[in-house]
Structure 1
């Protein structure tokens, strides 16, 4: 008995499907084509041939088959899904999304449709939509590892790290041989600051795929954080060799190279990252630090400016600009940056002060001297205002409130503090002057004059000390002596004499060494003055 056309077409399609599932796509195409020749309007054979043609690398022919199959039978959810996948690969995302929506509407219990739509949402940055689809897929397929692995990645991007860790651990339990799941879990553990566990996971991933650039990048980061800088650079070198556009690897290597005192290579890395589009403030700071180490001062200054354009109060950028300005001899600008740094990030500032105070740091010395200049400018301005107020009989010592917030001026009015300072440096001219004012207030004029004479003997050019000495006698025409009878704290009175005698430069010479100012600030944290 002769078989009818439909039966023969079905048998040809069955043979084609067997070939396709076994990966014999050419044989599958021939069998499906035979079925379509027997029954031209055979939707299953058209859709299945489209799958085999697409697996062979073709795009146009399978799309035509999918289109024709859907035209003949719009209710074929699986063909909508296959066409959606092809369109996704072709970058036609909106059309693909419409197909995924249709596939889910037609077959709401088919987990792969939710999964593929979730992938499309994730790549488009619609993370919450992706998560909703992955939740649906997980409810339908509780033993499908890829669903949980993908959901773990989405939750990591949503910064839901503990949930991501749970999903990825389940994915690994379901498929212990997947290096992708181990690598993704390593990233999550890195975010959770579980560095040792993260390193163990990334090592498992790299054992399976030694040339995975993402894995090498992460391991390089973990080595860098653990202080294994040489190992970090080795991993990052290989990651960048495999993927020259790996921005994170390039910038992390730049920081590691700076730590290894290889500023030329570090500068090249940060510059490359900026060229590739990583135009953020931190990358500019990295390039600026490398430029500073290469003595490219103007370049360092320009990098700091670029960083501050992007983040106006970034502490690292303020410190970089201050250092560049100091090395360029622009002390007022350097001082302003350091002062701003101390106010916007006092905790970080104090940590930095501790570091530079403990070691023989060129940068610490330079910034200490810049701070000394800032103190001199602020003190001089306030002192001149105070003298002008005294002449107008409107003296208000509250004008020194900002000064007191930056440099604990009032502390030096205590005789014991002054003596401690002199014990540290018997030649501290400013402390000698303060003791002289204290002695004069106590009626010990001869002792006061002896201290001022000692200053002049050590530095005959110290006109300010001579001017202060004249205030010990009434009738001095200089103006500063008018403060003598106002009961001002000795520090303020001495600073006023300095300011009126020689201005900022003179005030600066009388202040203690810049590193002492840094140390004082460490002991007495800066507090911004009230608005």
Structure 2
């Protein structure tokens, strides 16, 4: 994992520079910490990545980059309202930033604010296009326009992501976005190729390996999917979603005992993981362990009553009670 010098950490933790302009050295240290936060995010260590962003903002509460990075992490966790708040702050300190606008467009869309999402997407595309026309664009401008064009259903989104990747080979997110488009159109082999490029570029990209595992799963390449989950877990053995998805693959190949172990690990890493409780309950029931299945479904229905896993668990409990009532009769 990328490390940051103790001197940089000490400066950012102790210096009282919130109201002063950053020196060149302090700005460089901030960029180093931002790069570290991105590395942690790629490794699915979101709590640590958020902590690094918080550290930066304690020292420099007007850091648009830190708000933007924190928002991108929050988007990955589906914490859309929090992400929107951070993106508002980023745009306060860096007006009309194309990437912040594109990210906020996706957040607005996710919470059902479609008009706001389209407005931000159009503005993002316009601002990126202005930089491109002025020959002042970098990879992020093309990447941002690609994100905006996805929402605008513009056929050139793929080309924007390709250009972004060509300008900055380390921008693995551009490969992932191309893969998402190909998955959405059923072109799984092409999606697989782009995800492979992403993880070859960043061998510590746990999130990328799990994304590739999903595509392998959709293609019924179950052993390859398991191998990619294993790679993700080698990078970060506290990656709850990787344990969860590994469990789903083991269910598919009828290795229920391994699936139960995987779901258990997911729950240990992330207590209250409703989906893991639901699927572990199904596996227990298939193996004839009704009591354990009931316990898992009770937990899922309690911790996530408004989510699909909690509602599905409540339905399974209802069916269990009905069956037990019929047996008693």
Instruction: Give the TM-score range, shorter chain.
Output: 0.5 to 0.7
Relative to structure 1, the CA distance from residue 250 to residue 28 in structure 2 (aligned partners, 3 Å threshold; closer, same or farther) is closer
Compute the displacement of 1:120 (Å).
Answer: 3.1
Compute the displacement of 1:229 (Å).
Answer: 1.7
The answer to whether 1:173 aligns with 2:225 is: no
SS of equivalent residue, structure 2 residue 262: helix
Q: CA RMSD in A?
A: 4.0
Do the aligned residues in 1 keep the contact of 2:128 with 2:144 (CA within 8 Å)? Answer: no
SS of equivalent residue, structure 2 residue 63: helix
- Structure 2 residue runs of 5 or longer lacking an equivalent are 1-23, 32-61, 68-85, 109-115
The answer to whether 1:69 aligns with 2:128 is: yes
Equivalents in 1 of 2:124, 2:154: separation in Å? 19
Equivalents in 2 of 1:156, 1:121: separation in Å? 15
Do the aligned residues in 1 keep the contact of 2:297 with 2:310 (CA within 8 Å)? Answer: no
Equivalents in 2 of 1:196, 1:70: separation in Å? 53
Equivalents in 1 of 2:260, 2:298: separation in Å? 18
Equivalents in 2 of 1:53, 1:246: separation in Å? 29
Equivalents in 2 of 1:235, 1:262: separation in Å? 22
Equivalents in 2 of 1:46, 1:55: separation in Å? 15
Relative to structure 1, the CA distance from residue 150 to residue 56 in structure 2 (aligned partners, 3 Å threshold; closer, same or farther) is closer
The answer to whether 1:19 aligns with 2:83 is: no
Do the aligned residues in 2 keep the contact of 1:83 with 1:99 (CA within 8 Å)? Answer: yes
The answer to whether 1:149 aligns with 2:210 is: yes
Relative to structure 1, the CA distance from residue 219 to residue 95 in structure 2 (aligned partners, 3 Å threshold; closer, same or farther) is farther
Give the match for residue 112 of structure 1: 173
Do the aligned residues in 2 keep the contact of 1:19 with 1:25 (CA within 8 Å)? Answer: no
Give the match for residue 29 of structure 1: 91
Relative to structure 1, the CA distance from residue 246 to residue 26 in structure 2 (aligned partners, 3 Å threshold; closer, same or farther) is closer
Equivalents in 2 of 1:253, 1:130: separation in Å? 39
Do the aligned residues in 2 keep the contact of 1:32 with 1:48 (CA within 8 Å)? Answer: no
Relative to structure 1, the CA distance from residue 250 to residue 94 in structure 2 (aligned partners, 3 Å threshold; closer, same or farther) is farther
Do the aligned residues in 2 keep the contact of 1:182 with 1:201 (CA within 8 Å)? Answer: yes
Count residues in correspondence.
241
Give the match for residue 50 of structure 1: 101
Compute the displacement of 1:51 (Å).
Answer: 6.0
Relative to structure 1, the CA distance from residue 116 to residue 49 in structure 2 (aligned partners, 3 Å threshold; closer, same or farther) is closer
Match of 2:144 among 79, 82, 87: 82
The answer to whether 1:100 aligns with 2:161 is: yes
Relative to structure 1, the CA distance from residue 48 to residue 199 in structure 2 (aligned partners, 3 Å threshold; closer, same or farther) is closer
Equivalents in 2 of 1:95, 1:167: separation in Å? 30
Equivalents in 2 of 1:199, 1:92: separation in Å? 41
Do the aligned residues in 2 keep the contact of 1:211 with 1:242 (CA within 8 Å)? Answer: no
Give the match for residue 243 of structure 1: 307
Compute the displacement of 1:144 (Å).
Answer: 0.9
Compute the displacement of 1:182 (Å).
Answer: 0.9
Compute the displacement of 1:185 (Å).
Answer: 1.0
Structure of higher RCO (CA pairs closer than 8 Å, 6+ residues apart): 2
Residues 219-368 of structure 1 mapped to structure 2, 5 A cutoff: 219-239=280-300, 241-244=305-308, 256=320, 260-262=324-326
Do the aligned residues in 1 keep the contact of 2:124 with 2:145 (CA within 8 Å)? Answer: no
Do the aligned residues in 2 keep the contact of 1:186 with 1:197 (CA within 8 Å)? Answer: yes
Greater Rg, structure 1 or structure 2? 1
Equivalents in 1 of 2:121, 2:149: separation in Å? 11
Residues 163-202 of structure 1 mapped to structure 2, 5 A cutoff: 163-202=224-263
Equivalents in 1 of 2:221, 2:215: separation in Å? 9
Residues 449-460 of structure 1 mapped to structure 2, 5 A cutoff: none
SS of equivalent residue, structure 1 residue 227: coil
